[in-house]
Amino acid sequence: MAVTLQQIAELAGVSRGTVDRALHNRGRVNSEVALRIRKIADELGYVYHLDVHGNRGKNLKLGVVIPSIETATMQIVAKGARAAAEKLSAFGAEVIIREQEQMDGYRQLACIDELMRAGIHGLAISPTSDPEVCKKVDELENRGIPVIIFNGDLLESKRLCYVGMDNARGGRAAAGLMHLMLPDGGKVLPITAHLTQYAHKLRYTSFLEEMVKIAPNIELLPLQTCFNRDDFAYEITLHALERHPDLKGVYVAANGQHGVCEALRKEGLEGSIRIVAFDIHEQNIRDLQEDRISVILDQDAYTQGYQSAMLLYQYLAHGQKPPHEHMYTEIVIKTKYNL
């Protein structure tokens, strides 16, 4: 017997309409609710009825380029993309996923060219801010190959839409949380991964701007980049502690969180210096539960991979444009008390 939307709705505790929107990307649904709905649907073996207008979805090829795959966050993005690929394969669509280490504009351009030779009809990518990558996105759009950007936007490009967290809001939210935890002020070390990745840079610049407004008694140390490496973040933190033994907080805008935690543990400061970081994954959960990280802002990485591929399919197979230019995922704030 086929699983119905109503059955899923009853198990998820939501309306049938909410289930329909979550499963078919027909409107905005809270990211946690949408993830719960999709998990229930998968467990019940729900069959997605996407190709309602005939066979236009057959033989479609979609490319997905996922950089920084060595990070736990982008592995979650990849998991979402693979789930979408499995769903869409039932309708004759092929999703070609390419995983790359680090953020490298040259390698991204080579990967896009490879996917073009493979005959893709649409592309989803988390790009560097390299101008040549932006030109390549525009070239694809001009050739009728739609491009969806996820995780970090490429505003100046002709991309179809963006899927991911509102990174400016994320940075401001992080500033507000740090301010609440340090009412008496103090020194805060900011660390990000790559300044060539729009999201990583924007989460810092918006954090800085908000801190200037709301927390004049907090001194931000010079920004450091760890290139997604915990060992680099570890050394950066030790060096900062050596120069600033009165350090009160660390803001990790993108990756390197565990390296920061290990440096504080080495110096016997575990739990005494406030850490605001991003992304829910296994290591961050452990560090949050054990009071190494104070608070985490999650960006729903799974939905970024899943929804990007699904939106491309719906656009190419059915002519259904994304409902919004910015398909923002929910910013979810987690402490050890609400995991």
pLDDT in tens, 279-319: 999 999 999 999 999 999 999 999 999 999 999 999 999 89
DSSP string, 257-271: HHHHHHHHHHTT-TT
Q: What's the confidence (pLDDT) of residue 51?
A: 42
Q: What's the confidence (pLDDT) of residue 41?
A: 81
Low-confidence winner among 1-5, 216-220, 292-296 (lowest mean pLDDT)? 1-5
Above 80 in pLDDT, residue 20?
Answer: yes
Above 80 in pLDDT, residue 23?
Answer: no
Q: What's the confidence (pLDDT) of residue 1?
A: 56
- When pLDDT is cut at 50, 70 and 90, the band that residue 122 belongs to is very high
H-helix or E-strand spanning residue 99: strand 94-99
| Residues 104 and 132 sit within 8 Å (Cβ to Cβ) | no
Q: What's the confidence (pLDDT) of residue 53?
A: 42
Token readout for 167 is 């990174």
Average pLDDT over residues 35-47: 76
Above 90 in pLDDT, residue 116?
Answer: yes
Q: Is CATH 2.60.40.1230 correct for 56-162+302-329? A: no
Handedness of CA 62, 67, 71, 73 (dihedral sign): negative
Q: What's the confidence (pLDDT) of residue 52?
A: 39
Distance between CA atoms of residues 74 and 80, nearest Å: 10
Average pLDDT over residues 20-24: 77
The residue to which tokens 């060096």 are assigned: 239
pLDDT tens column, 220-253: 999 999 999 999 999 999 999 999 999 999 999 9
Distance between CA atoms of residues 106 and 62, nearest Å: 21
Mean pLDDT of the chain: 92
Q: What's the confidence (pLDDT) of residue 26?
A: 60
What is the three-class DSSP state of 188? strand
Above 70 in pLDDT, residue 155?
Answer: yes
The domain 167-298 is placed in CATH, from the list 3.30.1330.60, 3.40.50.1000, 3.40.50.2300, 3.30.465.10, at 3.40.50.2300
Q: What's the confidence (pLDDT) of residue 25?
A: 59
The three-point CA angle 80-201-237 to 5° equals 95
Token readout for 294 is 């104070």
Q: Residues of CATH 3.40.50.2300 domain(s) within the chain? A: 56-162+302-329, 167-298
Q: Residues of CATH 1.10.260.40 domain(s) within the chain? A: 1-49
Low-confidence winner among 128-132, 233-237, 334-338 (lowest mean pLDDT)? 128-132
Q: Is CATH 1.10.260.40 correct for 1-49? A: yes
Above 60 in pLDDT, residue 330?
Answer: yes
Distance between CA atoms of residues 203 and 208, nearest Å: 9
